[in-house]
Structure formats: C-alpha cells, structure tokens
Amino acid sequence: MLENQGTSSTPILVSLIPNLMGGEGHIIPYHQAVSKAVSKLGWKHLVAIPSQSNVNHLLAEWDSCLSNFDLEKDGNIWQKVLRLTGVFYLGTTTANYLRNNVINQSESSIIFLERFIHLQLFALTIALWLVPTKTLSVWLLYRRDTHKDKTRFIYKFLNYLIKKRLPLGQLKLLTDSDLLSQSLSNYFQETVIVMPIPHTDIQVNNWEIKDKSPGILCWWPGCPREEKGWDVIKNLVNSSFKKSDKICLVAAKNSNLESTKEGIEVKVIKDKLTREEYNYWLNVTDIILLPYDDKAYEERTSGIFTECIIAGKIPLVTDKTWMAYELLKYNLGELIISWDNSEKVFIYILDIFKNSNIKTKIKSMQNSYLNFHCLDTYANAMKKIINQK
C-alpha cells in the first residue's frame, strides 16, 4: 500500500523513440503532435530518446536516456548477431527509465512505440520482463506490411510474449492504414485499430514565393530513396521537353539532380527542412510528385501525401499504392499515373494544373482529411482505446 500513496489517476503516455533517424522524416513532428493530443485529454506525456540525441530543436522535456546502439544499421551476419548485445542495452535502459519515471506514478501508464523493427520490439519485451507491469499498457503502431517480412514470425512471437506479460487486454495493436489493418489483423489474429495521422498542422498562408521560376512548381519532397521513385525523378530531369520552361522541379540537394540543356529547371533545397521551411514549400508548390514504388507502398501510408491533401495540393501517384487507394475514394483516379514516359508525365502536369474539376474534388478530399487526420480525432481515438477492456 505504501508504494501506491503517490500514484496519480492521470494517465501517462510514454513515447519510446529508439532511433530519431537524424531528424529525418516525420518522427519528431509525429510525437510533437501526439504531445498536443495528449494535452487535450489532460494526460501526461513523456518522450524517451537515445542519450546522445541532439535535442536542441526538440521539446525541452524529452528525456535523453535510451541506449545509443543503432539496431537498424546495415551489417554482415556476425555484426547482426552481435546486435543482441545492443538489444539488451536498449532493453535495460528502457526498463530503468520506466522504473524511475513511470512505474507507480499513475494508475494507468501507456508505452507507445510507433516506429520499430523486430530488434527494438525485442528490447521492449526484455524491458517489460524487468519491471512490474500491473499498471502498464503497450500500444504498438505498425506502419509497414510486416505480415510480408521475412521476420514476420518474430513480430508475432514478441507480440505474444508482451501480451502474456501484461494484464489482460492491455496490449493494443494500431496502424494508420485501413489496408494494413485488414492484413495485419489476419496475420496476427488480433484486432488492429486504425489511427488518424496527427501531424497535419499545415499553416496555409499566402506565402511570398522566393526566387520562383515561371511555370508550374512541382516538388519531390523528402529524402531521396529508391522506394520513393528516385530513378523516376532522375529520368524526368534527364528528359528533354519542348515546353520545359513551364515546369520547375524542387528536390533535396542530396538527390544530386541537375538541370539539363533541354530539360525542366531543377531547384535544389536543403536536405533537412525545419517545420516552417517544410510548410513554406508545401504552400508554394503547385503539384506534389509521389512516384512511390507500388510494392513498398501497397498498404503503408505516406505522411507527405496526407499533408499534401491537407494543404489542398495536387498529388500525382503510382497505381496500386495506398495513395491511389485513397484518391479513388474521392473519384480522383486521374491523379494515378504511369511514370514510364517522361514526356507524357510533363504533358499531364500541364493539363492537370489547368483542370478546375480536379481542384474542386481535391477541396472535398481536403475537408474530409481535415476532419479525420487532426489532433481532436487522434485524441478521441486514444481515449476510446484506453477505455476498452
């Protein structure tokens, strides 16, 4: 009884972030949005990150306490075996954090993991077997088609171990894609709850466009990766086009893209954008290019696509992707294109930009997304989950 005298009835949600990925992607804005949603509910939010993280640009209360061992780094078979040591370190540092900051602090504490590989999930499993779990819940948000991974059986087994360690009904499986929800539910034989995407605080302003070239401004956002269509974009840039002066492509500097004599203009920008800079380019862009690989993005979501719609911009996407699935809900199949012929893509960009009917349908989709992918809906979803027994 004595150990519970200081226990609060206010729920605690702990965001575990084993790898900040150098600040790339949506990891930071995602958990900043989670913090705002938690605040709306009157809960307490804690964030645990690796101990050597650069937190200058993060919220002051984020705790640098987890192991710095990079469990996602490439390596040979022996290096991967040695990573079991790193798994143990991450597990013990997680357990220490939970013991010192979470256990017995609230009648209900939620450990939230939204981006992870099997080794990081293994580390969490170890941590849970090192601490009391009577007041703990675990929410795992699966972003990828884990049911197709070679390691899928490991995730399934670790889910089982975590479920056995927790009180009945305290493991919740989440995702942000209804396509993934169906597939993962079938594989795990567990309900997988669909969550909104919360980091949609796009400030739509009449930005003054700096150094804008004449023509349609197309943006290929994010870090250059093959699964995001790097080869497609390189083909577009290296292709000649009679009306090339009417299109300008914006891309990250490390994409190594350069304008050619008879090709479209290329404008390279910083590799890592602040949220304000990201909002700027999202606002001034006319069309977002998302030539993503249909196998990689068959069921998984794209935060950039979601923000594109929230900002009322026109996306061009690949067939048989989650983005295509979403567009078809709003009768926007004309934005699903083939990227094989660069000249046809350019002509399509010119035609799409002048199409008022498409802009009207995008507006309708934007309104729907604003109502679902927002902090209020995210907060309500969390409240509903914690009330489930």
- Could you tell me if residue 24 is inside a domain? yes
- Could you tell me if residue 207 is inside a domain? no
Q: Are residues 196 and 234 in the same domain?
A: no
CA 328 to CA 334: how far, in whole Å? Answer: 9
Range of 225's domain? 216-372
- Could you tell me if residue 3 is inside a domain? no
Q: Tokens 């804690």 map to which residue? A: 46
**Sign of the alpha-carbon torsion through 227, 233, 239, 243:** positive
CA 222 to CA 386: how far, in whole Å? Answer: 34
Q: Are residues 292 and 307 in the same domain?
A: yes
- Could you tell me if residue 307 is inside a domain? yes
Of 121, 261, 141, 269, the residue nearest 197 (C-alpha):
141
- Could you tell me if residue 211 is inside a domain? no
Q: Are residues 186 and 270 in the same domain?
A: no
- Residue 82's pLDDT is 77
192 in Cβ contact with 384 (< 8 Å): no
258 in Cβ contact with 266 (< 8 Å): yes
- Residue 387's pLDDT is 86
Q: Are residues 114 and 222 in the same domain?
A: no
Q: Are residues 102 and 143 in the same domain?
A: yes
- Residue 277's pLDDT is 87
Q: Are residues 231 and 185 in the same domain?
A: no
122 in Cβ contact with 27 (< 8 Å): no
- Residue 200's pLDDT is 79
- Could you tell me if residue 209 is inside a domain? no
Phi, psi of 311, deg, nearest 5: -80, -5
339 in Cβ contact with 218 (< 8 Å): no
Q: Are residues 63 and 176 in the same domain?
A: yes
SS3 per-residue string spanning 287-338: EEEECCCCCCCCCCCCHHHHHHHHCCCEEEEECCCHHHHHHHHCCCHHHEEC
- Residue 60's pLDDT is 59
- Residue 4's pLDDT is 46
pTM of the prediction? Answer: 0.90
Q: Are residues 220 and 195 in the same domain?
A: no
CA 94 to CA 99: how far, in whole Å? Answer: 9
Q: Are residues 358 and 382 in the same domain?
A: no
CATH code of the domain covering residue 88: 3.40.50.2000
- Residue 290's pLDDT is 97
Counting as low any pLDDT under 70, the low residues of the chain are 1-6, 23, 54-60, 203-214, 389
Q: Are residues 116 and 79 in the same domain?
A: yes
Q: Are residues 36 and 76 in the same domain?
A: yes
CA 294 to CA 290: how far, in whole Å? Answer: 11
- Could you tell me if residue 205 is inside a domain? no
- Overall number of domains in the chain: 2
- Could you tell me if residue 29 is inside a domain? yes
- Residue 266's pLDDT is 92
- Residue 272's pLDDT is 83
Q: Are residues 125 and 30 in the same domain?
A: yes
